Amino acid sequence: MRIFRTTESEPFVARTGRMEEFHNRLIKLSDPGIFFCRKGHAHLNIDLKEYDIVKNTQVIIQPGTILRLTESSADFEVSYCYFSEQLLREITIHLEPSFFHFLKENPSFTFPDDCIEAINGLMIATEAIYLDREHRFRDIIIRNHLQCFLLSVYEKTHRWFTRKQIEGTDRKDQLFKRFIALVHKHCTTQREVGFYANELFITSRYLSAIVQEVTGKTAKHIIDMHVILEIKVMLESTDLSIQEIANRLQFPDQSFFGRYFKKHTGTSPLNYRRALG
């Protein structure tokens, strides 16, 4: 299912709509995007966390993010743009990595009234640039405009949040954020705590202690919940067979895969898919 995905010939898209594609469906986005709520309200699940979206709320989505729109008002409307990961790398080359870690953990922000005019102007200009397909300098303008947009977000982030909030208060906080980033990247193939501890150059016991302190949950639980989320996305949004999903996630066999899924959800992969209707 190709939802919110760019192509080589169209690395940038901007529109206004109601995000109906995400209503009560888990969708994993391969491309980054920016959403700005113009009116109404909604509840948006982003990587297992629930966010209240109201007028003037901006949501910045990074590649690999999993979304589900769980509820929205009749008048809910957003302006949004999404662009290729390659374009994102080109326009953010000079920004600090800690900024993107912060946005991953804090994707949603509601702007104060004195900033709305500027943000509205940026979103309107974004869609106007996208629609002007005959402009011979369109690609250059898009690149420069998106860079200006993200620099504006970067500046406001540093204005409204302290450096400690952005970079992490201490080494434990930084290690936890790096752990979550690694889980997002590797959970489809790596399900053991030891792998992530090795990547962080710490012991499994120390990693488990950090995760328990920050979340109240075990590191293995965090990993498993992300794996289950990935499985649900494939069951809901693809036509892959149960065996193909098990193979893609590198389970030893379909039987083990089924037991793993049922252990964490209380139902089999097949019954979960059937219940979707």
Tell me the pLDDT tens digit for each residue of 46-56.
Answer: 988 889 999 99
Asked if the domains at 12-165 and 171-275 fall in one CATH topology, the answer is no
Q: Per mean pLDDT, which range of 16-20, 115-119, 154-158 is the poorest?
A: 154-158
* CA–CA dist 12, 33 (Å, integer): 10
Q: Region 19-40: what's the mean pLDDT?
A: 88
- What is the pLDDT at residue 165? 56
Question: Where along the chain do its domains lie?
Answer: 12-165, 171-275
- pTM above the 0.85 mark? no
Q: In terms of CATH architecture, what is 171-275?
A: Orthogonal Bundle (1.10)
For the chain, the 3-state helix, strand and coil shares in percent, each to the nearest 5, are 55, 15, 30
- What is the pLDDT at residue 35? 92
Q: Region 19-31: what's the mean pLDDT?
A: 86
At 203, the pLDDT band (50, 70, 90 cuts) reads very high
Query: Tell me, which fold does domain 12-165 have in CATH?
Result: Jelly Rolls (2.60.120)
The mean pLDDT value of the chain amounts to: 86
Chain-centroid distance, C-alpha 113: 26
Strand 27-28 and strand 66-72: pairing? antiparallel
Half-sphere exposure of 207 (CA within 13 A, CB side): 25
Phi/psi at 75 (nearest 5 deg)?
-100, 10
Note the helical H segments in the chain: 85-91, 97-105, 116-131, 138-160, 163-167, 171-186, 193-200, 204-215, 219-237, 242-248, 254-265, 269-275
